[in-house]
Amino acid sequence: MRISLLPVLVTIVLFSCAPTQSGIREELNESITKYNDFVRWHKLDAAGLFPADAISEEFMTRAKAAKNVRIVDYRVVRMNYDVERNEALVQVEIDYYTLTANRLRSLIDSQKWAYVTENGIKQWKLMTLLPEFP
């Protein structure tokens, strides 16, 4: 009796450890919020942990170029989540000003997120760069 239950128990354990779609979606929401909060509060080094490895160096170059930018607020205005591909397209409206011009501006940051494996860890990664602030 014990031997016949072993495959069933192994299957149950494996499926209970696998992330569910709702869990993956919750991770996405947390990643989007944390990343945009870091950008909002000008913690660009911390925000630099979210981009995929392939773009992280260029992301940090853009972060250095944004040293005089101060973000006043941001709003997630649209999010399209593709369940089959585990990707999301997120549009974030950012209100900001630069230290050289005291004029409030807004832009739309179109962010692409993908649930990928990097360094042996499956997680949400930003596939687009920090926007340029004109």
Strands 121-126 and 87-98: unpaired
Q: For the domain made up of 18-126, give the CATH fold.
A: Nuclear Transport Factor 2; Chain: A, (3.10.450)
pLDDT at 4 (0 to 100)? 57
pLDDT at 31 (0 to 100)? 97
CA distance 50 to 34: 9
Distances (CA, A) of 95 to 24, 72, 75, 129: 29, 5, 9, 17
Positive or negative, the CA dihedral 62, 89, 134, 35 is negative
pLDDT tens digit string along 79-100?
999 999 999 999 999 999 999 9
- pLDDT tier for residue 15 given thresholds of 50, 70 and 90: very low
pTM for the full predicted model = 0.82
